[in-house]
Amino acid sequence: MSRAVPRYRGFRTRLALTPQQETRLDDQAHAARALWNLLHELVTVSGARRPPVAYLDGEVRWARTRVEWLGVLPAQAAQAVLKTYHRAWVNCWDGRAEAPTYKSRSRAVLAVDIPQGRDLHVVRVHRRWGMVNIPKLGRVRFRWTRELPGVTKGSPPGRITGARLTKDALGWHIAFRVETEAQTAPPRDWADSHVGIDRGIVIPLALSDGSTYEHRAWLTEEEEARLLRAQRQAAHRERHKKPGGRVSKRLRATYDQIKDLRARAKRRVLDWQHKTTTAIAETYTLVSVERLSVVNMIKSARGRGDLPGVKVAQKAGLNRGIAGEAWGRTVELLAYKVDDRGGRLVQVPSPGTSLRCSECGTVTLGSRESQQWFACRNNECQWSGNADFNASRNIDRAGLALVTVAGRAVVRQT
C-alpha cells in the first residue's frame, strides 16, 4: 500500500541582475565568507573545545550592529553562516569530517543563504521569467525553466522552504529548496524493466541490453588549446608573484579565462548527464550500478620518498579521465530521477563484475584480453564480447539478486 512521504529537491536557475544588484550581492557574499573566518578565528584563538552557540550568536549580533561591512549581510543569512559553521564542527567532533578551515577570497565559492522561503515571494511574470524577493536586494528576475511547487495555479503541490545564491563563471544563480509529497510505490515485479550500467572512460555508460551512451570531448580542440595556453601563462606569472603578495590584474584575468573555460565544460557535462539519466529513468524501473569509491580510485600513485610510485603519469591521466566523467554525480541524478518515476536504483558490490563471465558465471585468469575485450577461458563456454557489456550484464544480474526474495522481485532500499 502506498503512502505519502516528504520529498526534498533543489531547483537551480540563473538570475538576471543589474550591475548595482550584482555589486551588492557580491558584498553580501564576501561578508558571509568573512563572517565564517571571524567565527573560526574566535573559536581557534579562544581554545574552547566546544564553544556554546549562544555565545557565538551574541558575538555575531554585536558585530553586525557595529561593523558596517558586516551589516550588509541579512540577519537570516548571518544566522545561516553560524549554523553551517557549528554543524561543521559537530561533524568533526563525531568523526564524519575534517575540522573546518579558513575560506580564502580567491578559492571560496561566493554564496548567500536565504533559510526561510516565506521571504522569497516567488511569482511568475512571463513564460520565461519569474520574480523573487532577495533580502536587502529587492525584486530580481530569474529564468523560469520549470514549474515551482505552490507558486502558480496548476503547479505541483508543495512549498519552497528556502534558497541559496551562488556565483560561478556565468554569474549568480539561485537554487530553490523545495518540499513536495510523493507516494511510495508498492513492491512490484522488475522482471520486464531492469538494466545494469557499467561506467567507464572510453564508453561512459554501457548498458546490459547492448546500448551505450557516449559523448564528444567537453571542449573543442580550439578551446583545449586556449585552456592550455592560459594555464601556462598563469604558471609563468605565478613564478614572478611575490610570496603573499597581491595577485596582479593580468594574472587575475588569466584566472578568469581558465575559470570560464572550465565552467563551459562543466555545463556541457551537466547537460549530457541530465539528458542521459532522464532517458534511462524513463525507460527502466530497476537500475543497477556498481558501488564504487571514486575518491579512492583517483588517488595519486606518486607514493612516498622511501617508496616512490610507478607509472605516475599514466595514473594521473586515468584520474583526470575518471574525474571528468563525474561518475558520482551520474548516480545521484539517476537515483532521484528513477525514484520520481516509481522505480529504484540499486548499488551492487563491485568485486568480480569485470572478471566474471556473464554467460557462464566463471572467473578465469586472462579473460580480459584487453581493456575493451573479454574472452571467457572456460572450454565449455568460450563466450567473448565487449568487456563493458559483459560487466553491465553481471551488474544487472547482481542487482536483480539483491531485490529478489522467495522467487518474487521485491524492492529493498540500499
Instruction: Please report which confidence band the pLDDT of residue 141 belongs to, taking 50, 70 and 90 as the band edges.
Output: very high
Report how far residue 17's alpha carbon sits from residue 25's, in angstroms, rounded to the nearest whole number.
9
- pLDDT attached to residue 187: 53
Residues 285 and 384 in one domain: yes
- Asked if 177 and 141 sit in the same domain, the reply is yes
Question: Do residues 400 and 409 touch, judged by C-beta distance below 8 A?
Answer: yes
Which element (helix H / strand E) includes 386?
Answer: strand 384-386
158 dihedral zone (left: phi>0; alpha: psi -120 to 50; beta) = left
Residues 37 and 129 in one domain: no
Q: How confident is the model at residue 185 (pLDDT cuts 50, 70, 90)?
A: low
CA within 13 Å, CB half, 21: 16
> Is 129 within the bounds of a domain?
yes
Sequence-ordered list of residues with C-beta below 8 angstroms from that of 134, at least 6 positions apart, any chain: 25, 114, 120, 140, 165
- The pLDDT assigned to 276 comes to 93
pLDDT at 93 over 60: yes
In this structure, how many other beta carbons lie within 10 angstroms of the beta carbon of residue 99? 12
Domain boundary (82, 110, 138) is at 110
Residue 285 lies in a domain: yes
Q: Would you place residue 362 in the very low, low, confident or very high pLDDT band (cuts 50, 70, 90)?
A: confident
Query: Residue written as cell 550500478?
Result: 289
What are the CA-CA distances from residue 251 to residues 30, 169, 188, 236, 305 (Å)?
21, 16, 59, 9, 33
Query: Across residues 171-188, what is the average pLDDT?
Result: 78
Cα 167 to the chain's mean position, in Å?
A: 15
Beta bridge partner(s), residue 178: 9, 160
- Assigned domain for 253 exists: no
Q: State residue 186's pLDDT score.
A: 55
Domain boundary, last residue among 78, 110, 142: 110
Alpha carbon 23 to its chain centroid, in Å, reads: 27
d(CA 362, CA 372): 19
In a domain, 375, yes or no: yes
Same domain, 117 and 85: no
- β-bridge mates for residue 303, sequence order: 308
Structural domain total, the chain = 3
Q: Which residue type, as a one-letter code, is found at position 339?
A: D
Same domain, 96 and 148: no
Residues 289 and 215 in one domain: yes
Q: Which residue has the cell 594574472?
A: 251
Size of the chain, expressed as the number of residues it contains: 414
User: Given this model, what pLDDT does residue 82 score?
Assistant: 93
Do 381 and 290 reside in the same domain of the chain? yes
Find all residues with CB under 8 Å of 364, minimum gap 6, and list them. 357, 376, 377, 378
Domain contains 81: yes
Asked, for residue 242, whether it belongs to a domain, the answer is: no
What are the C-alpha distances in Å from 240 to residues 105, 252, 259, 264?
20, 14, 21, 29
pLDDT at 189 over 70: no
CATH at residue 372: 3.30.420
Q: Are residues 274 and 359 in the same domain?
A: yes
300-355 pLDDT tens trace: 767 666 667 677 777 777 778 878 888 889 999 998 888 888 788 888 888 878 87
Quick one: 344 and 382 in the same domain? yes
Let me know: does 300 contact 258? Beta carbons within 8 Å: no
Same domain, 333 and 376: yes
- CA dist 170 and 269 (Å) reads 15
- Cα(372)–Cα(58) distance, integer angstroms: 61
**Enclosing domain of residue 367:** 194-225+264-409
Name the strand (E) or helix (H) holding 111: strand 111-114
30 Cβ partners below 8 Å, 6+ apart?
Answer: 105, 110
**Could you tell me if residue 238 is inside a domain?**
no
The arithmetic mean of pLDDT across residues 19-43, rounded, is 93
Nearest Cα to Cα of residue 333 among 199, 193, 186: 199
Residue 252 CB coordination number (10 Å): 13
Contact between residue 410 and residue 404 where contact means Cβ atoms under 8 Å apart = yes
245 domain-assigned: no
Provide the pLDDT confidence category of residue 175 given band limits of 50, 70 and 90. Answer: very high
Instruction: Report residue 161 as a C-alpha cell.
Output: 522552504
Give the chain's end-to-end CA distance (angstroms, integer): 20
Give the predicted TM-score (pTM) of the model: 0.78
Asked whether residue 91 falls in the same domain as residue 162, the answer is no
